[in-house]
């Protein structure tokens, strides 16, 4: 039984920066838990506060520590639950209490909810359709898009029009002046999509979908709340399953959170949820201001919402009776926070669900190795959908060996086979997507003649090239000079592999001068909403070929795409990260899944220097099981997560010397702490893969241990050590458990 409790006396944001310590009276020692509301003496007053954590370590002179008076709320209310979650996150992932609390509690804003505007048609449908035809002929794209959406939906919320449809306010005003639409203002928050009855649709789930829903709901009705992993191929109807589950949970008076990577949170996806759940659903995304976001949280707390959709941070919506958490595209790396506390939304969702007695459904066509490992171990329950809806077949895939192309004298980025298939599509008026794998652009060095990649002799990860040509291993610091010839075949065509989307666009245009080409990458999507605009232009068949990075892999259905070309499949294979094969498999499988989503069957061409690599072979065969078997064998041999656990300690400082010396000192301490536990691997300190970032020098230490909690204990002791000795005042230390990106 802990003797002391650290308490925050007010949860307004300015006051979060510290806790006060109180002694737990004997009679409360059995019952007190994090998140409970208590009454404590504060100066001459008595105030309420929340228990943040229980501890045996006194922070002050014991004689000065006062006692908790009483428990205000025996059960943990919603704020308390989030505070308890923050305490858990701080423990699991490191960092300060303040950082953890700011992650889970929304920022209060002075700004009040503004009036809501919606837009609806002011003329009969027939007339609107006529006008739509005129706009389309005149290529008034924005006007046409607005009319089309209004014909479909009846009424739309202003911000849906400007944010999701990419139609500017001036266009709406122009249509209002023309008497075509009417702008309606309301004081209260209203339904973004008014005529739901009209649009109400209900698909009948197929047998496989129904079986998944039944399995989850049978448990649920028996109050068995657990975590499910829904492994369903692309287009197998996972989203419909989510919606059915949500409808069931909501009908029981509980609420649901749906996490979707921001990039997949497109107009299409949002509309599906709107059409089913109407004004009970809301969205959170990074475009909302702090005030808007806070309002959504308030509405959720007041019981005005039943479903919130959003990226990672939507997990902390203060629903009073949360019953279900869905995480779509569970394998996405964006579910891991890059800020302290570096939490993973999957693990944190499972913990939040445990506190709230809720279920969790993780969905993916290509589950993370981590989640699948847990499912196999029985920790998650595995559910599968292995067929596409409506007899649609998975695409046919072939691999092209780029070394053969090189030998045949083809120096183009497009293989002969892919070129021929694109030509065929252009003749048939079908669409092509060219996917350029840009993950792992971080300068690995390979041979164009034989595909050989320069690797670290100690760690089996590729070396990265730094300025001046030095090649470095980011795991162990091994270094070697630049090579002039390939050590494997002697060719002089060796170097860093880089090819930008822009360059590819130029090459494609000159090869197929008649084709209409769209490009999507960081450059073309920098402007607000251009992402959505490019996708809808392509969906409307305004182009024949779409070239893009991993951005094009998500979000939209393109029924006329019958060919997907993957230009440099290997890029992600050679990043210095043990996830390389997993990411490659996921990217290739998801990209391939873009082909043949309509009635026409699809074809996929994967261009690679490494046609026999298991991630490429299994992605081509869409064979997850085979991939997993080989991948988990590799992780086992190398003691990588999820078989073992990993903790990366990153030390950053202005002076390289400070970072190096500090990291060395921490490594020694860690080694000493680890000795007690036994079985600890410590590698480093070494330069981080980005050795200098924002003027800070970065050193990393890698720890591996079979048990996660041993690493947590080491983190606790290091945090304590750092706090005790003010010696690291000039150095920032960050902890990252089972990192998504190494270094
Ligand atoms: P996933 O999320 O697995 O990619 P979706 O739920 O988006 O799959 O479904 C793919 C397509 O099939 C969508 O257009 C969806 O409307 C349709 N669909 C899903 N389930 C059914 C069903 N039971 N009957 C008819 N169409 C369905
Ligand atoms: Zn190495
Ligand atoms: Zn070679």
Q: Does residue 682 contact residue 702 with C-beta atoms inside 8 Å?
A: yes
Q: Which long-range contacts (CB under 8 A, 24 or more apart) does 678-684 make?
A: 679/705, 679/706, 679/710, 680/704, 680/705, 680/710, 680/714, 681/639, 681/705, 683/475, 683/476, 684/475, 684/476, 684/477
Assigned fold of 645-737: Alpha-Beta Plaits (3.30.70)
Percent of the chain with pLDDT over 90: 42
For residues 359-381, one letter each, b for 16 or more C-beta atoms within 10 angstroms of the residue's C-beta and e for the rest, the string is bbbbbbbbbbbbbbbbbeeeebb
pLDDT over 60 (residue 617) = yes
What is the pLDDT averaged over residues 213-229? 97
Choice among 51-60, 223-232, 547-556, 630-639 with the minimum mean pLDDT: 547-556
Helices 267-277 and 238-251 cross at an angle (nearest 10°) of 30
Residue 568 confidence (pLDDT):
78
Closest residue (by CA) to atom 6 of ligand 1?
237
* Residue closest to 453 by CA, chosen among 587, 297, 613, 680: 613
* Residue closest to 272 by CA, chosen among 223, 352, 188, 203: 203
Residue 427 confidence (pLDDT):
95
Contact 389 CB / ligand 1 (< 6 Å) = yes
Cα gap 264→593, rounded to integer Å: 15
Helices 708-724 and 78-93 cross at an angle (nearest 10°) of 90
Spacing, Cα 477 to ligand 2 middle (Å): 6
Q: Could you count the other beta carbons within 10 Å of the beta carbon of residue 239?
A: 18
Cα angle for residues 363, 570, 557 (degrees, 5° grid): 40
User: Which ligand sits nearest to residue 463's alpha carbon?
Assistant: 2
Closest residue (by CA) to atom 22 of ligand 1?
205
Spacing, Cα 637 to ligand 3 middle (Å): 28
* Element at 197 (helix H, strand E): helix 196-199
What is the pLDDT averaged over residues 360-368? 97
* Residue closest to 257 by CA, chosen among 160, 193, 327: 327
Residue 14 confidence (pLDDT):
57
Q: Tell me the per-residue pLDDT of 328-338, one tens digit each, with 9 for 90 and over.
A: 999 998 999 98
- Domain-by-domain residue ranges, the chain? 4-104, 115-187, 207-390, 392-441+497-635, 645-737
Q: Does residue 228 contact residue 218 with C-beta atoms inside 8 Å?
A: no
- Between 44 and 73, the more confident residue is 44
What is the pLDDT averaged over residues 293-300? 84
Cα gap 499→506, rounded to integer Å: 12
At residue 110 the predicted structure's pLDDT band, cuts being 50, 70 and 90, is very low
- Between 36 and 17, the more confident residue is 36
At residue 196 the predicted structure's pLDDT band, cuts being 50, 70 and 90, is very low
Cα gap 397→402, rounded to integer Å: 16
- Between 235 and 465, the more confident residue is 235
Q: Which residues are CB-contacts of 57 (< 8 A; sequence separation ≥ 6)?
A: 4
Contact 447 CB / ligand 1 (< 6 Å) = no
What is the pLDDT averaged over residues 712-721? 91
Of 208, 213, 233, 239, the residue with max ligand 1 atoms within 8 A of its CB, to mutate for a pocket test, comes to 239
Q: Token digits for 496?
A: 């860093």
Cα gap 41→66, rounded to integer Å: 7
- Between 384 and 444, the more confident residue is 384
What is the pLDDT averaged over residues 725-739? 84
What is the pLDDT averaged over residues 106-113? 53
Per CATH, domain 207-390 is 3.40.50.300: yes
pLDDT over 60 (residue 435) = yes
pLDDT over 50 (residue 192) = no
Q: How far from each other are the two terminal CA atoms of the chain, in whole angstroms?
A: 39
What is the pLDDT averaged over residues 423-433? 95
* Element at 737 (helix H, strand E): strand 731-737
User: Which ligand sits nearest to residue 459's alpha carbon?
Assistant: 2
User: Which ligand sits nearest to residue 490's alpha carbon?
Assistant: 3
Task: Domain 4-104: give its CATH architecture.
Answer: 3-Layer(aba) Sandwich (3.40)
Q: Average pLDDT, whole number, for the chain?
A: 86
User: Which ligand sits nearest to residue 489's alpha carbon?
Assistant: 3
* Element at 400 (helix H, strand E): strand 396-401
What is the pLDDT averaged over residues 16-34? 86
Choice among 310-314, 511-515, 535-539, 648-652 with the minimum mean pLDDT: 535-539
Q: From the alpha carbon of 389, which atom of ligand 1 is closest?
A: 12
At residue 596 the predicted structure's pLDDT band, cuts being 50, 70 and 90, is confident
Contact 560 CB / ligand 1 (< 6 Å) = no
At residue 111 the predicted structure's pLDDT band, cuts being 50, 70 and 90, is very low
Alpha helices in 283-398 (DSSP H): 290-301, 345-356, 369-376
What CATH number matches the domain at 392-441+497-635, 3.60.150.10, 3.40.309.10, 3.40.50.300, 3.40.50.960? 3.40.50.300
Cα gap 557→597, rounded to integer Å: 7
What is the pLDDT averaged over residues 27-54? 87
Residue 151 confidence (pLDDT):
86
Contact 164 CB / ligand 1 (< 6 Å) = no
Spacing, Cα 167 to ligand 2 middle (Å): 52
Of 204, 205, 234, 235, the residue with max ligand 1 atoms within 8 A of its CB, to mutate for a pocket test, comes to 235
Spacing, Cα 545 to ligand 1 middle (Å): 25
Residue 114 confidence (pLDDT):
54
Residue 306 confidence (pLDDT):
96
- Between 208 and 153, the more confident residue is 208
Residue 190 confidence (pLDDT):
32
At residue 549 the predicted structure's pLDDT band, cuts being 50, 70 and 90, is confident
Q: Categorise residue 414: left if φ over 0, alpha if ψ from -120 to 50, beta otherwise.
A: beta
Q: Tell me the per-residue pLDDT of 673-707, one tens digit each, with 9 for 90 and over.
A: 888 878 899 988 988 877 777 778 889 999 999 99
Contact 345 CB / ligand 1 (< 6 Å) = no
Residue 440 confidence (pLDDT):
44
Task: Judge if the upstream peptide bond of residue 645 is cis by omega within 30 degrees of 0.
Answer: no
* Residue closest to 171 by CA, chosen among 163, 186, 161: 161
Q: Token digits for 407?
A: 């030998």
Residue 396: strand, helix, or coil: strand
Residue 312 confidence (pLDDT):
93
What is the pLDDT averaged over residues 203-218? 96
Choice among 218-227, 246-255, 474-483 with the minimum mean pLDDT: 474-483
Residue 511: strand, helix, or coil: helix
pLDDT over 60 (residue 603) = yes
Are the folds of 207-390 and 645-737 the same? no
For residues 282-311, one letter each, b for 16 or more C-beta atoms within 10 angstroms of the residue's C-beta and e for the rest, the string is bbbbeebeebbbbbbbebbbeeebbbbbbb
**Which of 321-330, 402-411, 658-667 has the highest mean predicted lDDT (pLDDT)?**
321-330
Residue 724 confidence (pLDDT):
78
């Amino acid at each position: 039984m802990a003797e002391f409790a650290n308490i925050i006396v007010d949860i307004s944001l300015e006051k979060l920066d510290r806790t006060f310590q109180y002694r737990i009276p004997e009679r409360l020692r059995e019952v007190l838990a994090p998140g409970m509301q208590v009454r404590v003496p504060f100066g001459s007053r008595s105030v309420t506060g929340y228990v943040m954590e229980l501890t045996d370590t006194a922070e002050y002179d014991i004689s000065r520590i006062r006692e908790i008076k009483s428990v205000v709320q025996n059960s943990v209310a919603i704020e308390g639950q989030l505070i308890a979650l923050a305490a858990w996150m701080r423990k699991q992932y490191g960092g300060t209490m303040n950082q953890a609390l700011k992650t889970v509690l929304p920022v209060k804003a002075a700004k009040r909810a503004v009036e809501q505007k919606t837009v609806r048609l002011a003329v009969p449908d027939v007339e609107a359709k006529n006008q739509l035809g005129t706009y389309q002929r005149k290529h008034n794209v924005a006007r046409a898009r607005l009319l089309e959406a209004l014909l479909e939906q009846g009424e739309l919320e202003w911000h849906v029009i400007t944010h999701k449809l990419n139609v500017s306010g001036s266009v709406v005003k122009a249509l209002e002046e023309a008497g075509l639409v009417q702008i309606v203002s309301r004081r209260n928050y209203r339904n973004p999509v008014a005529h739901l009855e009209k649009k109400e649709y209900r698909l009948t789930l197929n047998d496989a979908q129904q079986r998944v829903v039944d399995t989850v709901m049978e448990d649920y009705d028996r109050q068995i709340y657990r975590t499910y992993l829904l492994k369903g191929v692309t287009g197998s109807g996972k989203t419909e399953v989510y919606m059915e589950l949500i409808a069931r949970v909501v009908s029981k008076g509980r609420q649901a959170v749906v996490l979707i990577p921001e990039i997949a949170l497109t107009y299409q996806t949002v509309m599906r949820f709107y059409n089913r759940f109407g004004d009970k659903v809301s969205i959170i995304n990074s475009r909302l201001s702090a005030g808007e976001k806070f309002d959504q949280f308030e509405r959720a707390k007041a019981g005005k919402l039943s479903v919130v959709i959003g990226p990672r941070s939507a997990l902390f919506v203060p629903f009073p009776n949360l019953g279900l958490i869905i995480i779509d595209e569970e394998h996405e790396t964006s579910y891991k926070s890059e800020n302290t506390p570096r939490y993973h939304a999957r693990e944190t969702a499972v913990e939040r669900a445990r506190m709230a007695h809720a279920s969790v459904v993780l969905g993916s066509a290509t589950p993370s190795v981590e989640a699948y490992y847990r499912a196999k171990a029985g920790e998650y329950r595995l559910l599968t959908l292995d067929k596409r809806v409506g007899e649609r077949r998975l695409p046919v895939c072939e691999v092209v060996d780029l070394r053969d192309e090189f030998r045949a004298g083809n120096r183009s980025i497009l293989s002969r086979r892919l070129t021929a298939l694109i030509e065929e599509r252009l003749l048939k008026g079908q669409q092509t997507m060219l996917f350029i794998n840009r993950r792992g652009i971080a300068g690995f060095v390979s041979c164009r003649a034989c595909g050989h990649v320069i690797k670290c002799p100690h760690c089996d990860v590729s070396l990265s090239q730094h300025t001046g040509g030095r090649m470095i291993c980011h795991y162990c610091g091994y270094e070697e000079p630049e090579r002039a010839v390939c050590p494997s075949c002697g060719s002089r065509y060796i170097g860093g592999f880089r090819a930008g989307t822009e360059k590819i666009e130029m090459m494609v245009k000159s090869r197929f001068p008649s084709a209409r080409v769209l490009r999507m990458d960081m450059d073309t999507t920098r402007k607000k909403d251009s992402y959505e605009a490019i996708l809808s232009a392509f969906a409307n068949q305004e182009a024949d070929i779409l070239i893009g990075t991993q951005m094009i892999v998500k979000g939209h259905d393109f029924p006329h795409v019958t060919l997907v070309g993957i230009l440099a499949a290997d890029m992600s294979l050679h990043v210095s990260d043990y996830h390389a094969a997993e990411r490659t498999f996921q990217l290739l499988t998801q990209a391939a899944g873009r082909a043949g989503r309509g009635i026409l069957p699809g074809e996929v061409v994967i261009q690679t220097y490494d046609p026999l690599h298991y991630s490429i072979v299994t992605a081509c065969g869409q064979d997850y099981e085979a991939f997993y078997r080989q991948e988990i064998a590799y992780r086992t041999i190398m003691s990588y997560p999820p078989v073992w656990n990993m903790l990366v300690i990153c030390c950053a400082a202005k002076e390289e010397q400070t970072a190096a010396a500090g990291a060395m000192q921490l490594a020694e301490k860690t080694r000493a702490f680890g000795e007690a536990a036994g079985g600890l691997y410590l590698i480093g300190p070494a330069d981080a893969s980005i050795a200098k970032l924002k003027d800070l020098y970065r050193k990393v230490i890698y720890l591996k241990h079979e048990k996660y909690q041993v690493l947590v204990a080491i983190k606790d002791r290091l945090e304590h050590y750092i706090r005790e000795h003010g010696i690291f005042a000039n150095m920032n230390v960050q902890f990252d458990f089972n990192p998504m990106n190494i270094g």
